[in-house]
Amino acid sequence: MRSQYVWPVILFFPVLLFQTTILPLIAIRGIIPDLIIILLVYYSIMLGQMTGTILGFIYGFFFDVITGSLMGTSILSLTITGFVAGYFSNENKRDIYFKNYIFVLIVALCAIINSLLNSFFVSVDLNTNMMSLLLNLGILPALYTSLISTIVIVFYPKRNFD
């Protein structure tokens, strides 16, 4: 039972390793998909809103200390993202989410929220064109992330045997 809470934390490290070493190779105009968001959304839907929120906090903490980002920004943005993703946690609808493209839309929504929160805390600059900021920091990375998240739908087991 407890392993279901330990695995998401353990899995974070290989995913971050992949994110920082291999994913830059598929960057498009400097934009890379955010696998951490996909992992967080997946586990928030699987394990519930509270676990999603706490998991977001833990992911953000490790992300900030390992990548050298401004401490606290990812913690805050991923905590709120985990909370939002947790809204979609519903035992009856879980399978439906993972088997069709609703999951992609949830990932897109969460990625936009995460990017905007993250950039709000580090780059709030009223002189900058807000539309261009929204597009560059929020929508484009979110689209790429949600595109990659279709992998979850493809590999999610089609039948449950339990």
Question: Is residue 146 at the binding interface for another protein, with CB under 8 A as the rule?
Answer: no
Question: Is residue 54 at the binding interface for another protein, with CB under 8 A as the rule?
Answer: yes
Residue 137's contacts (CB-CB under 8 Å, 6 or more residues apart) are 115, 116, 118, 119, 123
Radius of gyration of the chain (CA): 15
* Span near another protein by CB under 8 A; candidates 2-10, 78-86, 102-110, 147-155: 78-86
Question: Least distance in Å: CB of 72 to another protein?
Answer: 3
N-to-C CA span, the chain: 15
Nearest-10 Cα torsion for 106, 52, 27, 109: 20
Among residues 121, 143, 150, 153, the one that binds another protein under rule CB under 8 A: 121
Question: Is residue 91 at the binding interface for another protein, with CB under 8 A as the rule?
Answer: no
Distance, CA of 66 to CA of 32 (rounded, Å): 18
Number of neighbours of residue 122 by Cβ within 10 angstroms: 15
Question: Is residue 92 at the binding interface for another protein, with CB under 8 A as the rule?
Answer: no
Question: Is residue 47 at the binding interface for another protein, with CB under 8 A as the rule?
Answer: no
Question: Is residue 112 at the binding interface for another protein, with CB under 8 A as the rule?
Answer: no
Please report which helix (H) or strand (E) contains residue 136, including its range.
none
* Span near another protein by CB under 8 A; candidates 17-25, 38-46, 91-99, 147-155: 17-25
Distance, CA of 78 to CA of 70 (rounded, Å): 14
Residue 28 backbone dihedrals phi, psi, to 5 degrees: -115, 115
Among residues 4, 90, 100, 128, the one that binds another protein under rule CB under 8 A: 128
Instruction: Kindly list the residues in this chain that would bind another protein in the complex (CB under 8 A).
Output: 13, 16-17, 20-22, 24-25, 27, 30-32, 49-50, 53-54, 56-57, 60, 62, 64-73, 75-76, 79-80, 83, 86, 115, 118-119, 121-123, 125, 127-129, 132-133, 136-137, 141
